[in-house]
Amino acid sequence: MKKKLKKRKKGFRIVHLLLLCLLVYSLVVFSHQRRMMKDLATKKINIETEISGLERDIDALNEEIGKSGTLEFIEKVAREDLGMVKPREIIYIDKRKQNYSLFDKDKSDN
């Protein structure tokens, strides 16, 4: 008896379709994950930059808190924030300048 050889069908089968779908799905998922990783890396850099800025602000505020009991600090606050002057002190204001630090505080209060 002759053995019958099965001929393979040449052409497109369901297995090929499933493999193609799996490949396309894998590529889509991979590209989406790469995009997400890139976005997360950008967010991480932005947050780290913000954290370092906030840490500098905290250090400056801690330094200011440390100096808050000194006479220099009290005098600075009295002059800049409260607009106070020393006795017999004369203040000259240059009208050509736009920034009047002594009177800017008063204008915002009215």
Delimit the domains of the chain by residue range: 14-84
Q: What is the pTM (predicted TM-score) of this model?
A: 0.52
25 token code pair: 């799905």
Q: What is the pLDDT of residue 107?
A: 47
Compute the Cα dihedral for 24, 30, 32, 34 and give only its sign.
negative
Give the dihedral of Cα atoms 65, 69, 70, 76; nearest 10 deg.
70
Summarize pLDDT for 75-93 with one digit per residue, the tens: 888 888 888 888 888 877 7
Answer yes or no: is pLDDT of 12 > 90.
Answer: no
Percentage, residues of the chain above pLDDT 70: 77
DSSP string, 48-108: HHHHHHHHHHHHHHHHHHHHTTSHHHHHHHHHHTT----TT------TTSS--HHHHHHHH
Per residue in 39-77, pLDDT tens?
A: 999 999 999 999 999 999 999 999 988 888 888 888 888
